[in-house]
Structure 1
Amino acid sequence: MGEDRRTVLYTLVIERGIRSHKSFSDEYARVAEQLRAEGQDVAPAPVARHYERLLVVGGLKSQPYSPTARVLERMFHWPVLDLLRPASEMPELERQHSTPRAATSPVLNESELLMTARDAAEHAGEAASLHLDEMTLDQLHDDLVELARKYGCTAPAEVCQRASSLLRTAQVLLERTRSPEQHARLYYAAGQATALLSAVSFDLGALAPAVSFARSSAQYGKTIEHGPLQAYAYGMLAFMAFWDGRPSEAVRLAKSAQQFGGLGDTACRRLYAIEARAYGHLRNADQAQRAIRDALEHSSGARDELHDDIGGEFGFDAARIAMSNATTSLLLRDAEGAEASATRALALLSSRPTAEQPIVVSGPAAIDLARSRLMRSEVEGAHEALAPVFRVPPDWRGAGMLERLTAARIELTRPELRSAPAALTLAEQIEDFSALSPARRLGATSPLAIEG
């Protein structure tokens, strides 16, 4: 459209940012409602074709009817005939009006203020309605705490189902609140749920989902700047990196995790233990032993809510440290050190009621004890250590047990053991046990986790 054909109205809608027919119609409807409330007769907004004609000089054969003109004049505070004049005459028209550019300095009246007040009240009411009952958030928090604390004593399939449900709940509730504080709580809940899903996915032998869930948990933690949550997720990623054959990447991730703020002693000890395992895979005995010492000796008195107050799967107590150190010693072919750490882990667990002894810790510790004995050709001692493991129900036979049993089975292939009747019997028991593992059914492999 040439400038000589544009109307004053065209210039004003451009300045107001309502050039599109929809934007213009929305503003027209708002002003029309004000006039209607004052008892005045108004017309609906012009259709798109009629609206375009209003923007062109000579586009209308006659001036708009009063019900339409009344709305346009209230919208722009110019007489309708002036609105339809060429935009080139606008400076002259502004000088003729007592209040230049009245469109930018509208005259307020009580009806407009009441309309604005009603809009504000409606918006405030809507915002208030999008604030969740705190008890709803408290229940979600309590459910996650319970699941984390009972993780080691709950079948992986059940953990997966419950954690998935809690994640969906957190995601739905995020859409129902506008409160920044509640958003932070719900992102934290979603981060915990995805962290638990990462752990249980790994236990079920599903590495790809486990990595994806861990990354999601780290992202939730980053969103709310929660150091402990990010550290836990990075620790999981480090753990899965060396399990997947990338020990150097595991070291990098473990060290990165240690740099997050707000970590308590439990978080630090967990990360040192994971770092030690990674160095074990690299056969770096010096760095592995250094990390083991750090895991055993770190004590600053600091705590964090995730690892210390909630604990459970997020915790990393003395028994779990000992179990992890036993595995690291096996990677370094240190049978004596492995047996000492595994024995300590099992002793610490035995002091608890049977129902509170986490299979995800006791099972691997027992298998590591058996393997340390097999390294010294003590088949009967290994069989004794594995007796409670063989009683573990199929649904509990996770990837951590499967990988360790695979390594133990490899020990039985050494020339001095492979033909011994006791060794053959034990090998068959291991194979039968592993065949029913849900991790095996999901196609899990253990390429590097516990090398021979």
Structure 2
Amino acid sequence: MDESRRTVLFRLATRMGIRSYRAFAEEYSRAAEQLRGEGYEVAPPPGARHYERLLTKGGVKTVPFRPTALVLERMFQLPVGDLFRSAAEEIGPREGASGRALCSPVLNESELLMTARDAASHSSEAAALRLDELTLDQLHDDLVKLSQRYGSTPPTEVFHEANSLLQQVQVNLERTRSPEQQNRLYHAAAQASALLGAVSFDLGALAPAVSFARSAAQYGKTIDYGPIQAYAHGMLAFMAFWDGRPGEAVRRAQTAQRFGGIGDTARRRLYAIEARAYGHLRADEQAKAAIQAASEQTTGRRDELHDDIGGEFAFDAARTAMSHATTCLLLRDPTTAEEFASRALDLLSTQPEDTAPLVISGPAAIDLARARLMRNEVDGAREALNPVFQVPPNWRGSGLMERLIATRVELTRPALRGAPVAVALAEEIEEFSALSPARRLGAQNPLAIEA
């Protein structure tokens, strides 16, 4: 159609992307709702046929009544009379970045005051939605202390404290609009979720453990924090081989190595996990290579999570040796396993008794016992297990119990089966295992430490 037959309304509606009746009616309804909220009387959108007449010069004999005109003027920022002029007469309007035609509206003082009051109200709300920095400092300190006490605190107590801290973080995230504070809170949420994942696993609850580990990884991704993502993916790798998926565990451990900002401690942990996964695959050469790679992480690089906060996030020489002992048992190498287990226990013996982490000393002692059983040394195994049998029930987590199950299986080998001392030790293991929190939670014992 000749442009002289089109109205300015047609030209503006086309530029604004609302030429179709449906799009026009939706935009009209939004503008009408705004005006209604300001106390104006407005009319519903014109019908589809009436709308088409509005787009044609001379299509209507008179301009719309005031309730409709108000909405059209708000939508197109022009007096209603100008909207029905011929598009050929239109003086070129200025266009914003969105491509919508913009004309300077006529303002009055009351509108300016209303806008100013809205801005003042919003800024007051924003200022109010900022937490006291002491609240964030306390959350950080509580998480650090809990992480550092992890190895000497009963798992059930760790779970309740970590859960309480995560809930505090989630509430406080709703109370601040400060990007800096939100970043600190996501850090805290990631750490609390990671601790909940670790303790859920210790309690024998694999499904919640995996869910918490994924949450920790997601929080870390939100703030682009590599160390917590590496830790969480390492947890998922560990849980994968514990659940009978060692191939996936290898892939996850290698993925975790690629996160930025991680130091030697984090890499040593990930190589140790990778070695365990290869052990489950009976891939001797790859497992030994990963053990060697773990020992070569000596560049001096550090990160805040694994080194400064430490505790459960740390992976010191004793923990590394304990993990390697388990890998060597998977490879049916009792001599090297005994060397690593003994090294772990020697390193722990230099620590004060009340600070030595049972989550490391218990498994290391069991690995030492199992290495001796592989050489048919039942008395030596019983001696190694003496301190383990003193562990209180609420400390008997999955890491401890899975090793004991494997030790119990070792006692069924033909060379030991039926020997009175072996039968007595097997019965003692069964009685000890019956009272573990993991057993009471109904946890299964997959072949994480295979016989």
Q: Cα distance 1:151–1:54, how it changes in 2: closer, same or farther (>3 A)?
A: farther
CA distance change for structure 1 residues 341 and 111 in 2, over 3 Å: closer, same or farther?
A: same
- The alpha carbon displacement at 1:70 in A equals 11
The answer to whether the 8 A contact 1:403-1:445 is kept is no
Residue 64 of structure 1 and its aligned partner are, at CA, apart by 5.9
Structure 1 counterpart of 2:42, one-letter code: P
CA distance in 2, matches of 1:355, 1:185: 32
Change (3 A) 1:47 1:106: closer
Q: Structure 1: any 5+ residue segments left out of the alignment?
A: 1-5, 34-42, 96-100
Partner in structure 1 of residue 320 of structure 2? 321
- Output the TM-score relative to the length of structure 2: 0.84
Secondary structure of 1:287's aligned partner = helix
Deviates more, 1:43-52 or 1:344-353: 43-52
* Residue deviations 1:37-68 (CA, integer Å, cap 9, x gap): xxxxxx64336599999979899x99868xx7
Are 1:78 and 1:102, in contact at CA under 8 Å, matched by a contact in 2? no
Give, in angstroms, the shift of residue 392 of structure 1.
1.0
TM-score if structure 1 supplies the norm length? 0.84
TM-fit CA distance, 1:8: 8.9
Is the contact between residue 43 and residue 68 of structure 2 (CA under 8 Å) also seen in structure 1? no
| 3-state SS of paired residue (2:130) | coil
Cα deviation digits, residues 354-384 of structure 1 (max 9, x gap): 1111111111011111111111111111111
Work out whether residues 130 and 178 of structure 1, in 8 Å CA contact, stay in contact via their aligned partners in 2. Answer: yes
Q: Does the 8 Å contact 1:377/1:417 carry over to 2? A: yes
Is 1:362 aligned with 2:361? yes
- Structure 2: distance between partners of 1:209 and 1:230: 18
Maintained 8 Å contact 2:197/2:208: yes
Among all aligned residue pairs of Structure 1 and Structure 2, give the percentage whose two residues are the same amino acid: 63
Bigger mean CA offset, 204-213 vs 308-317: 204-213
CA contact (8 A) 1:434 1:440 kept: yes
Per-residue displacement from partner, 1:236-282 (whole Å, max 9, x unpaired)?
11111111111121111111111111111110111111111111112
C-alpha separation between the residues in 2 aligned to 1:125 and 1:401?
Answer: 54
- Offset at 1:233? 0.7
Do the aligned residues in 2 keep the contact of 1:265 with 1:300 (CA within 8 Å)?
yes
1:254-293 superposed matches below 5 A: 254-293=253-292
- What pairs with 1:399-418 in structure 2 (closer than 5 Å)? 399-418=398-417
Q: Which residue in 1 is equivalent to 2:31?
A: 24
Matched residue, 1:181: 180
2:301 aligned counterpart, secondary structure:
coil
State the superposition RMSD in angstroms: 3.3
Q: How many residues align?
A: 428
Query: Are the equivalent residues in 1 in contact too, given 2:246–2:280 (CA < 8 A)?
Result: yes
2:300 aligned with 1:301, yes or no?
yes
Q: Distance in 2 between matches of 1:371 and 1:146?
A: 34
Residue type at the aligned position of 1:450: I
Question: 1:398 matched to which residue of 2?
Answer: 397
Shift of 1:74: 8.0
Contact 2:73–2:79, Cα closer than 8 Å, also in 1:
no
Looking at structure 1, the residues matched to 272 and 209 of structure 2 have their Cα atoms a distance apart, in angstroms, of 20
Deviations 1:411-430 (A, max 9, x none): 11122222222111110110
5+ residue gaps, structure 2, are 1-5, 19-23, 92-99
SS at match of 2:445: coil
Structure 2 distance, partners of 1:282, 1:78, is 75
Is the aligned partner of 1:116 residue 2:115? yes
CA deviations over 1:271-325 (Å, ceiling 9, x no partner): 1111111111122222212211222231001000000000000000111001101
1:190-201 equivalent positions in 2, closer than 5 A = 190-201=189-200
Conserved? CA contact 1:13–1:19, under 8 Å: no
Q: 1:149 to 1:103 in 2, by over 3 A?
A: closer
Q: Which amino acid aligns with 2:41?
A: A
Aligned-partner residue type, residue 259 of structure 2: F
- Contact 2:190–2:217 (CA under 8 A) maintained in structure 1: yes
> What does residue 45 of structure 1 align with?
41
Match of 1:214 in 2: 213
Using the TM superposition, give the Cα deviation of residue 110 of structure 1 relative to its aligned residue in structure 2, in angstroms: 3.5
**Structure 2 residue matching 1:260: 3-state secondary structure:** coil
Q: Which residue of 2 aligns with 1:3?
A: none
Contact 2:151 2:357 in 1 (8 A): yes
